[in-house]
Structure 1
């Protein structure tokens, strides 16, 4: 590779390294996903909520990571408050009935979500409606607690949603309102606040429902002045009993489908993984060009003539057909004389013997002796092993002396 090629490679490596450095140092985007997971520190996680509960109630807080149905059916002695917070909570008929039966026995159910399933709404005789900000409005919401001892006067603002859920209909005889919500509008100065947090007796226990789950997120609690609203709602929990924090019905709970999640979840490991991939790509591209593909070894075809001849000879020998073997040997010998000494073997007279003797380094007597022996074998009907071996020996000796090896 020439000097110009190395320059191009250096430029490419520098560009890739610069892009990786810029990407690594780029400010991390804020994740606004409503996960509601206990250890998430993103805006809509509930890390702060769980820390507050631990500070308020200590070891009374228990984290539950299995479905409520499984938890309540396997632990018959469970008593206290079951706390749910998520964008949506959908239990299913069997699980909901289990929770309601457990609540009716004198326990508490605290649920914060923007919507609930129809079976729960029908059971509690309530309906849910939605408030929308008008066109051009900034989506501001005002949340307020009804209890005068918890109300600090001014409402608590929230401006991340353009709509808010409220209880459109409820059983006024058995329901107590705990909080309200209002979306102020410049065009409607007479707009009234709507109920969005209620408490209702259920059997021997009670159920608290909030349609504002983001009141328990990191973003809302840490926003200046809002922590009193979350603390006011948490004051309705019975601190003398165990509080079971649900971690199953969460939009952002971890579901690992691949081992690569470990690498890609950490920034340092993710970029180390990308660096290895890029390095492997450079190695394949440049190392592959430097080395030539291996040339396959093509072996020449073997000459199977000798093997074939030996096989045929063995067949004749095993059958005892020595006469045929001798005839083949003599026929091949005649072909050898024609191809090497260019003699006509049909007319074997004195001139033939003299020419063969002079060309093959043999005496005339040796030539006549060999041919007389072959003529003797031709007229024989049977040939012994000794005679066959003698014929082969004399022919081989003739060839050796003719080629100068004697």
Structure 2
């Protein structure tokens, strides 16, 4: 026990030292694209969340973590914008139909994503070129098409923030709102009734990293200015956080590298401890005698009693009563009288062969009329009843 105590104390001290070292060491910049409104990392949306009132004054924000279909179904929305900013957007046919009806009612939808999903690609005839290179110092200059929004000097961002563009686009349906200096389209609008769908393939242009620069703030403000000022803005978090309630109990541990590795080390140490103790303290497993099947013995005793008494009429009577009870409960038929009407009803509802069914009821009638039931008659009755049970529906 003394050695085990030292082992546990040593493991605990090492774990505490590791946690302290990880906590106090300089934290590297987290460049992961979360697109969460509460994240202050470069590719979070904290700045946009705090400043959206300056673009949409008086607009009330509504957060939704449900799919588009569940958010919009049977809700007559008016004067509303729908904002989706995520790395990938998965919209199926049901979601798309609700979005179209939502836009036809005079509302607007703004989607900023690298990947619009297969359904939107096929439906809108739109494809995004995903050749993004983070090693580039400067991205391709981009600008708006509208002369009122177009800057004399195009927007240039580092980290390749504006490098994505649409490699396939149906210009008969889509209105081009933005291009890069190569003439490649990177911002489009689709009109649906009184509303519209805006698609931007560069969601990082709306992130903290972009908005903290004057150029990024100007570009984001102009891009979002296509949306009118409405009473409500639905901020979609389904494509970044998932459905409400889909959160692991260990989400806090796995969110941070230090806690995640501390958890792994704890599990590995526990596994080593269990293996070590198993080898040292495993006891002999006692042999437990096999349990006897008392049900089989009971059936044998009952069978011997019936066999010795040789009361075939009692056995036949019980089998007939059980059969009639089965017919009553299964097919909801009255069995007070065994007549032609009952036989026809049993054949119809059970799906049993008519000849076999009539033979069964004829045998039952023979048993009821006989004063003494022979072994042969009892065996015949039993075979017919068992056959009926197996083939009946």
Shorter-chain TM-score: which interval? 0.5 to 0.7
- Written as runs of structure 1 = structure 2, the 5 A alignment for 1:3-402 is 19-57=18-56, 58-124=58-124, 126-130=125-129, 132=131, 138=137, 140-161=139-160, 164-172=164-172, 174-182=173-181, 192-250=182-240, 258-262=248-252
TM-score normalised to the size of structure 2?
Answer: 0.56
The answer on whether the counterparts of 1:179 and 1:197 sit within 8 Å (CA) in structure 2 is yes
Residue 160 (structure 1) shift: 2.5
Residue 153 (structure 1) shift: 2.3
- What residue is the counterpart of 1:353 in the other structure? none
Distance 2:230 2:265 in 1: 54
Q: List per-residue Cα deviations over 1:179-198 (Å, max 9, x = no partner).
A: 1134xxxxxxxxx2311101
RMSD, aligned CA: 4.5
TM-score normalised to the size of structure 1?
Answer: 0.55
SS at match of 1:166: strand
Q: List per-residue Cα deviations over 1:285-334 (Å, max 9, x = no partner).
A: xxx9xxxx9xxxxxxxxxxxxxxxxxxxxxxxxxxxxxxxxxxxxxxxxx
The answer on whether the counterparts of 1:64 and 1:245 sit within 8 Å (CA) in structure 2 is yes
The answer on whether the counterparts of 2:114 and 2:130 sit within 8 Å (CA) in structure 1 is no
Residue 63 (structure 1) shift: 1.9
**Number of residue-to-residue matches in the alignment:** 278
Q: 1:225 to 1:97 in 2, by over 3 A?
A: same
Unmatched segments (≥5 aa) in structure 2: 1-6, 282-393
The answer on whether the counterparts of 2:65 and 2:244 sit within 8 Å (CA) in structure 1 is no
Q: 1:9 to 1:98 in 2, by over 3 A?
A: closer
Residue 258 (structure 1) shift: 4.2
Distance 1:31 1:200 in 2: 35
Residue 238 (structure 1) shift: 0.8
The answer on whether the counterparts of 1:86 and 1:251 sit within 8 Å (CA) in structure 2 is no
Q: 1:54 to 1:13 in 2, by over 3 A?
A: same
Distance 1:55 1:234 in 2: 11
Q: 1:225 to 1:277 in 2, by over 3 A?
A: same
Residue 73 (structure 1) shift: 1.3
Residue 221 (structure 1) shift: 1.2
Distance 1:127 1:276 in 2: 49
- What residue is the counterpart of 2:384 in the other structure? none
Residue 230 (structure 1) shift: 0.2
The answer on whether the counterparts of 2:145 and 2:179 sit within 8 Å (CA) in structure 1 is yes
Residue 269 (structure 1) shift: 8.5
Residue 241 (structure 1) shift: 4.0
Q: 1:198 to 1:13 in 2, by over 3 A?
A: closer
The answer on whether the counterparts of 2:145 and 2:178 sit within 8 Å (CA) in structure 1 is yes
Distance 2:228 2:183 in 1: 28
Distance 1:169 1:225 in 2: 27
Unmatched segments (≥5 aa) in structure 1: 1-7, 183-191, 294-406
- Structure of greater Rg: 1
Q: List per-residue Cα deviations over 1:206-265 (Å, max 9, x = no partner).
A: 111111111111111113421100000111111034221111122688876543434665
